[in-house]
């Protein structure tokens, strides 16, 4: 997205890309109109009236206090500036789990992940409360289908978190139940099966303008 923005604003514009780990942004940082900053959104200063557009995709939903970050972004927006937040909500998976009939690996591995994604559903109301105008929440629900690019993404993600969520001691400390390795292996099989397709997440595409 930062690369796309840099192409659009041209040499007279500027883009700031922020991440806690910028190791994959080295090429992006060589562009004259891009500044790459390695920092933590929870603590970093944003400045005042300096951004015409702020965008996030599946970032704020994972922060411990995303509301505080959004509140600090308001003053950082130039008058008339626009925020565009794309954040996920696990409601479809939760509804499917409540209805029953889901494959056990999906129920045991994926639904607990999706159940934690609740922040985005209140984002539009928070922006209104902060004084933003022209607030719109475009919600689109997605299926998780085996053999798709999304399934490949989730396989990589699950491989990354597997040592954590299969560790009973760690998960107990978090007040959650560990997932057994056999369930993980079965979930990987589903992700490779094109006949597997279930409701999973809703994407809230929320836009708003600072007066």
- What would the mean pLDDT of 114-126 be, rounded to a whole number? 96
Question: What is the pLDDT, as a whole number, of residue 167?
Answer: 87
- What would the mean pLDDT of 23-46 be, rounded to a whole number? 92
- What would the mean pLDDT of 124-149 be, rounded to a whole number? 97
Domain 40-209: which topology?
Answer: Rossmann fold (3.40.50)
- What would the mean pLDDT of 39-47 be, rounded to a whole number? 93
- What would the mean pLDDT of 133-140 be, rounded to a whole number? 97
- Cα-trace Rg, the chain: 19
Question: What is the pLDDT, as a whole number, of residue 64?
Answer: 92
Question: What is the pLDDT, as a whole number, of residue 48?
Answer: 92
Question: What is the pLDDT, as a whole number, of residue 125?
Answer: 98
Question: What is the pLDDT, as a whole number, of residue 164?
Answer: 87
- Tell whether the model's pLDDT for residue 170 goes beyond 90: no
- Tell whether the model's pLDDT for residue 175 goes beyond 90: no
With cut-offs at 50, 70 and 90, classify the pLDDT of residue 29: confident
Cβ burial 16-45 (10 Å sphere, 16+ → b, else e): ebbbeeeeebeebeebeebebeeeebeeee
- What would the mean pLDDT of 93-116 be, rounded to a whole number? 93
Could you tell me the residue ranges of all domains in the chain?
A: 40-209
Burial of 168 (0-12, 13-18, 19+ CB in 10 A): exposed
Whole-number average pLDDT of the chain: 94
Question: What is the pLDDT, as a whole number, of residue 76?
Answer: 95
Question: What is the pLDDT, as a whole number, of residue 168?
Answer: 87
- Tell whether the model's pLDDT for residue 171 goes beyond 90: no
């Amino acid at each position: 997205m930062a690369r796309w923005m840099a192409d659009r604003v041209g040499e007279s514009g500027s883009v700031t890309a922020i991440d806690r780990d910028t190791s994959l942004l080295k090429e992006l940082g060589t562009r004259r109109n891009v500044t790459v900053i390695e920092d933590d959104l929870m603590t970093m200063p944003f400045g005042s009236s300096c951004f015409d557009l702020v965008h996030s995709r599946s970032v704020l939903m994972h922060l411990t206090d995303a509301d505080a970050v959004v509140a600090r972004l308001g003053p950082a927006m130039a008058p008339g500036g626009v925020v565009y937040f794309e954040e996920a909500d696990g409601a479809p998976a939760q509804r499917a789990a409540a209805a029953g009939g889901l494959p056990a690996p999906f129920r045991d591995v994926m639904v607990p992940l999706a159940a934690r994604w609740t922040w985005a559903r209140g984002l539009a109301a928070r922006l209104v409360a902060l004084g933003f105008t022209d607030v719109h929440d475009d919600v689109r629900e997605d299926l998780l289908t085996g053999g798709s690019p999304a399934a490949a993404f989730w396989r990589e993600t699950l491989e990354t978190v597997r040592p954590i969520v299969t560790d009973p001691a760690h998960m107990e400390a978090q007040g959650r139940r560990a997932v057994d390795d056999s369930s993980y292996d079965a979930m990987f099989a589903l992700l490779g099966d094109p006949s597997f397709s279930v409701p999973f997440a809703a994407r809230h595409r929320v836009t708003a303008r600072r007066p």
